[in-house]
Amino acid sequence: MTSRIVALGLSEVVDPPDEIRLGIGHERVDGKAPFTSRDDVRAPVGERRDRDDPRFGADPVGHGGRSDLGAGPDKNDAEGTLALDRAADEEPVPRLEDVQRQERPGEQNGAEREQRQQFAHATERYSGARAKRSTRAGARPAVISVVLHGELQQFGAKRREVDGAGKSAREIVTSLGIPAAETAAYVVNGEQVDDAAVLRDGDTLELLPAMTGGESEGALAGIRVVDLTWALAGPYCTLMLADHGADVVKVEIPGVGDESREWAPPHIKGVSAYYLAVNRNKRSVTSDLKHPDGKRILERLVEKADVVVENFSPGVLARLGFPDERLRSMNRRAVICHISGFGQDGPGRAWAAYDLVVQGMGGIMSLTGEPGREPVMVGVPQADMVGGMFAAFAIVAALEARHRTGEGQVIDATMIGGQVALLSRQAARYFADGTVPRPEGNMHASIVPYQTFRAADGFVNVCCANNALFERLCRALDLEDLLEDSRFADNPSRVKHRDALVPRIEARIATLPKAEVVRKLREANVPVGPISDLREVFSDPVVRHLGLIAEVDHPVAGRFKAPGIPVRLSGTPGSVRRYPPLLGEHTDEVLAEIGYSLDEIAKLRTDGAI
């Protein structure tokens, strides 16, 4: 019997009834043969933990602590549940807020899931040979806690205590009357395990439901997108559409594909990490758009499409034989979106555009960095990503307009447009009095204190935009004497006397670890946060709670992680249903859908059209 590995984002903790749905990989596919997809599953929600019960505290590393999916009691709990007794020598599990105070929680959170599972199965807790039920005369029943998530709650109370120690996870599920096919994964004390894992007294077993067809549909389910994009701005746009249910067909050059497939290192087992990051939930078709038969394939795709997206240099698609007028004549309902650096017409039409170039031209770099120093680019390719985000927004707006007009329209989305939109308050300053803003470092020109401070072991950001917050800050940091100084009585005064005020706050914060600064100011309800590196970001309980880590199985790269879906919709949640496709993986499948026979597909391949 073949086994299936379920790729689940177990890093999230989500409040009911919201769900984060993450997909498993498909079978390894022969690029020249028809493909058979594999069923999807999702990692459903957990519940917000009862903060007063240490049994449900977060384990920052995820090795043997109580689950981060949490299982706080609520109105659906079974009545009369037994208390979970903890072994006498078992240390209490830290609560979620305690994890936030640690300097670098979850050091191993970035390790491969395989390593974590090896750890789990190497411990006595998961060993069938050593997991034993108490047999002492008069001993109480060996009890475990079972938590049902998502649709599994149709089989009973969300949380219950059962006499299940010494049994395997599979046996417990069977005893509860839950069909095995309904369970996607088993989580014991925060670790995903296989169904043969044996439970011990006091363990918590969480059961995650398999994805069911209709309810896995996102807000854009049924929307068909022809994706002619490459690199980042375009693929990020279509990623957003795909994450919310659109059927995105990525059309690529035979034998070459999206150039980001070659952008490495870093790579994962030879697959570009860059490509993996922005191409999930898509299907890949290869078609040579310079070949007559390749053009006919695109024609058929456009005829059935709701959206066509491209980010070639302006004019390229028209030169291939597909100007806007022809695309519109083929399908009046299709929304056609062009993404470029500087527009489809005008003086910048022919200029090459990459992220760094557009960050500079859009003004963002002139505002970023330390005063008097050279301009600094933002640390992520935000010009590409913001351009793609605005394009996705425009597409959805055009689809909504189609409900009224019955027709699609043409969108001209630009990277430079996204950059100018981000100028926001800095543009407002310029338009107000003609002053050209310059880099200000990590401080605010109009609010004090509103900046980065160095703590004893790192950095924190503190923001006090009004007098009430400033007063709380001073009391929390034992700087009450500042409240008696007329120079700091209100924000205009604090701005005027910045040079006198900031050094006092700097000196105090420098004596404290950043976790202590954050704790003190959060307790005082002062806006504050640590500056986190990526290890800390992806270990942060808030990030895990919101399901912002997606984990997917890929037939070549194996199991990999990427940022999850950043928004949660209560009725039509986004989901990760497909791994980033192999080049041409779905060519036969998609061509069959648009009317090609197997013989015709074989001839197209022989003729070099696909």
DSSP string across 109-169: TTS-HHHHHHHHHHSGGG-TTT------TTPPP--EEEEE-GGGGGGS-SEEEES-TTSBH
Whether the pLDDT of residue 588 is over 60: the answer is yes
Give, as one character, the DSSP assignment of residue 64: S
C-alpha 464/C-alpha 460 separation (Å) is 13
Amino acid 179: pLDDT: 84
**Could you tell me which residues are beta bridge partners of residue 529?**
461
Say if residues 166 and 131 touch (Cβ distance below 8 Å). Answer: yes
C-alpha 581/C-alpha 558 separation (Å) is 13
* Residue 186 pLDDT class (50, 70, 90 cuts): confident
Tell me what the mean pLDDT of segment 111-128 comes to: 39
For the purposes of burial, counting CB atoms within 10 Å of the CB of 36, is it exposed (0-12), middle (13-18) or buried (19 or more)? exposed
Whether the pLDDT of residue 285 is over 70: the answer is yes
pLDDT in tens, 379-431: 999 999 999 999 999 999 999 999 999 999 999 999 999 999 999 989 999 99
Q: Count how many Cα atoms sit within 13 Å of the Cα of residue 313 in the half-sphere of its side chain.
A: 9
pLDDT in tens, 161-184: 999 889 999 899 999 998 876 776
Whether the pLDDT of residue 213 is over 50: the answer is no
Q: Please choose, from the candidates 12, 1, 2, 20, the residue with its C-alpha nearest in 3D space to the C-alpha of residue 192.
A: 12
Tell me what the mean pLDDT of segment 532-553 comes to: 89
Amino acid 150: pLDDT: 66
Tell me what the mean pLDDT of segment 37-45 comes to: 33
Q: Rg of the Cα trace of the chain?
A: 28
Q: Please choose, from the candidates 189, 254, 247, the residue with its C-alpha nearest in 3D space to the C-alpha of residue 221.
A: 247
C-alpha 494/C-alpha 448 separation (Å) is 6
Amino acid 216: pLDDT: 58
Whether the pLDDT of residue 234 is over 50: the answer is yes
Higher pLDDT, 609 or 76: 609
* Residue 139 pLDDT class (50, 70, 90 cuts): low
The angle formed by the CA atoms of residues 217, 218 and 221, to the nearest 5 degrees, is 70
C-alpha 168/C-alpha 296 separation (Å) is 56
Amino acid 115: pLDDT: 41
Give, as one character, the DSSP assignment of residue 518: H
pLDDT in tens, 481-507: 999 999 999 999 999 999 999 999 999
Query: In the 3-class helix/strand/coil scheme, how is 223-234 assigned residue by residue?
Result: CEEEEECCCCHH
Higher pLDDT, 386 or 38: 386
Q: Which residues are catalytic?
A: 384
In the chain the domains, ranked by start, together with CATH numbers, are 1-29+38-93+103-210 (3.10.20.30), 222-423+580-605 (3.40.50.10540), 450-532 (3.30.1540.10)
Higher pLDDT, 40 or 590: 590
Amino acid 19: pLDDT: 35
Element (H, E) at 461: strand 458-463
CA 300 to chain centre: 33
Q: Provide CB contacts within 8 A for 88, sequence distance 6+.
A: none
Q: Please choose, from the candidates 38, 381, 22, 400, the residue with its C-alpha nearest in 3D space to the C-alpha of residue 233.
A: 381
Amino acid 183: pLDDT: 72
* Residue 551 pLDDT class (50, 70, 90 cuts): confident
Amino acid 545: pLDDT: 80
pLDDT in tens, 436-477: 999 999 999 899 999 999 999 999 999 999 999 999 999 999
* Residue 541 pLDDT class (50, 70, 90 cuts): confident
- At residue 609, what is the residue type? A
**Helices 424-433 and 415-422 sit at what angle, rounded to 10 degrees?**
70
Residue with tokens 């300053």: 429
Higher pLDDT, 171 or 111: 171
Task: Give the predicted TM-score (pTM) of the model.
Answer: 0.68
Give Cα separations from 416 to 131, 353, 410 (angstroms): 61, 9, 18
Amino acid 181: pLDDT: 66
Whether the pLDDT of residue 508 is over 80: the answer is yes
C-alpha 264/C-alpha 383 separation (Å) is 20
C-alpha 217/C-alpha 269 separation (Å) is 31
Amino acid 62: pLDDT: 33
Amino acid 141: pLDDT: 64
Percent of the chain with pLDDT over 90: 64
